[in-house]
């Protein structure tokens, strides 16, 4: 009975929400084919717009049309009603330049992307002139935090968190929330160092300061970042 109720709730949620959107521009000359989820696109401008993507991890793959060589192959963790705008540089690095909530009120409106996710506090995102959503209230992320908390040792937590971060982009607040699950500052420091390259709002990395028990460890993190 409980299972049927959960399925009904999920079905209703799917009906009343919009799919995720991913806009990607490839800063590289040539002809390429881009695939996100089950959608494939080609255009001479190397700018790709994907609509109605499923929530969760969405795989993005871009290949050279002639040689088939992979230019980019990675995953982004996306939520319903979320639009991510990104660029891929000459070296195949993906940089998120905008992460917004699609505040549409009907299915036929392209979308008013100003605003934040409902219930979340807004924060500035460098370069977008507006807001980015704080995904810390995302149910899937909360489940991940619970799973992380159930690990017995910091070494296991680090391995689990590292695997999670390697598959997506994280906010500084998410990284701080994960950091709080470690028992010792040594684990927090290792995690904070690794996660820095996965953070899409590095200007907010100061949020990790209060996760450390000793200020010297946060200073060590600052020294590490300055040395990059």
Per-residue pLDDT tens digits for 38-77: 899 987 888 898 988 987 889 999 999 888 899 999 988 8
Confidence of residue 169 (pLDDT cuts 50, 70, 90): confident
Tokens of 213: 């028990």
Quick one: average pLDDT of 10-27? Answer: 67
Q: Return the ∠ at Cα 56 (arms to 158 and 82), rounded to 5°.
A: 115
Q: Return the ∠ at Cα 192 (arms to 190 and 197), rounded to 5°.
A: 110
Quick one: average pLDDT of 23-41? Answer: 91
pLDDT (0 to 100) of residue 55 = 79
Q: Are residues 75 and 64 in contact, defined by beta-carbon separation less than 8 angstroms?
A: no
Q: Is the pTM of this model over 0.75?
A: no
For residue 182, pLDDT beyond 60 = yes
Quick one: average pLDDT of 197-210? Answer: 91
Confidence of residue 200 (pLDDT cuts 50, 70, 90): confident
Quick one: average pLDDT of 7-14? Answer: 43
The Cα-based distances of 49 to 63, 83, 101, 110, 160 in angstroms read: 16, 10, 16, 12, 32
Confidence of residue 18 (pLDDT cuts 50, 70, 90): low
Secondary structure element (H or E) that encloses residue 163, with its range: helix 154-165
- Where is pLDDT greater, at 32 or 110? 32
| Burial class for 129, CB neighbours closer than 10 Å (0-12, 13-18, 19+) | exposed
Quick one: average pLDDT of 6-25? Answer: 60
CA distance 24 to 34: 9
% of the chain residues with pLDDT over 70: 76
Q: Compute how many other C-beta atoms are within 10 angstroms of the C-beta atom of residue 35.
A: 17
The Cα-based distances of 98 to 95, 125, 134, 167, 173 in angstroms read: 9, 7, 13, 19, 17
CA distance 32 to 20: 23
Non-local (6+) Cβ contacts of 100 within 8 A are 82, 83, 85, 113, 114, 115, 128, 130, 131, 132, 133
What domains are defined for the chain? Answer: 2-133 (2.60.40.1120), 139-226 (no CATH)
pLDDT (0 to 100) of residue 42 = 85
Q: Using one digit for the tens of pLDDT, what is the confidence trace for 92-147?
A: 888 888 887 776 544 444 444 433 333 333 333 333 333 344 444 467 788 889 88
């Amino acid at each position: 009975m409980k299972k049927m109720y959960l399925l009904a709730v999920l079905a209703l949620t799917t009906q009343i929400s919009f799919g995720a959107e991913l806009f990607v521009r490839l800063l590289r000359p040539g002809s390429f084919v881009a695939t996100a989820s089950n959608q494939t696109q080609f255009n001479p401008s190397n700018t790709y717009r994907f609509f109605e993507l499923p929530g969760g991890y969405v795989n993005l793959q871009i290949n050279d049309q002639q040689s088939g060589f992979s230019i980019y192959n990675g995953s982004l963790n996306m939520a319903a009603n979320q639009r991510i705008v990104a660029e891929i540089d000459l070296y195949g690095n993906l940089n998120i330049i905008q992460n917004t909530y699609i505040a549409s009120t009907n299915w036929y409106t392209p979308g008013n992307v100003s605003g934040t996710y409902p219930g979340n506090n807004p924060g500035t995102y460098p370069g977008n002139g507006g807001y980015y959503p704080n995904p810390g209230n995302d149910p899937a992320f909360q489940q991940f935090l619970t799973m992380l908390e159930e690990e017995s040792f910091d070494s296991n937590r680090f391995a689990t968190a590292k695997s999670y971060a390697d598959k997506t982009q994280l906010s500084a607040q998410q990284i701080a929330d994960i950091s709080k699950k470690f028992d010792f500052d040594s684990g927090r420091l290792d995690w904070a160092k690794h996660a820095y390259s996965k953070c899409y709002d590095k200007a907010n990395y100061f949020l990790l300061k209060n996760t450390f028990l000793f200020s010297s460890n946060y200073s060590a993190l600052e020294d590490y970042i300055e040395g990059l």
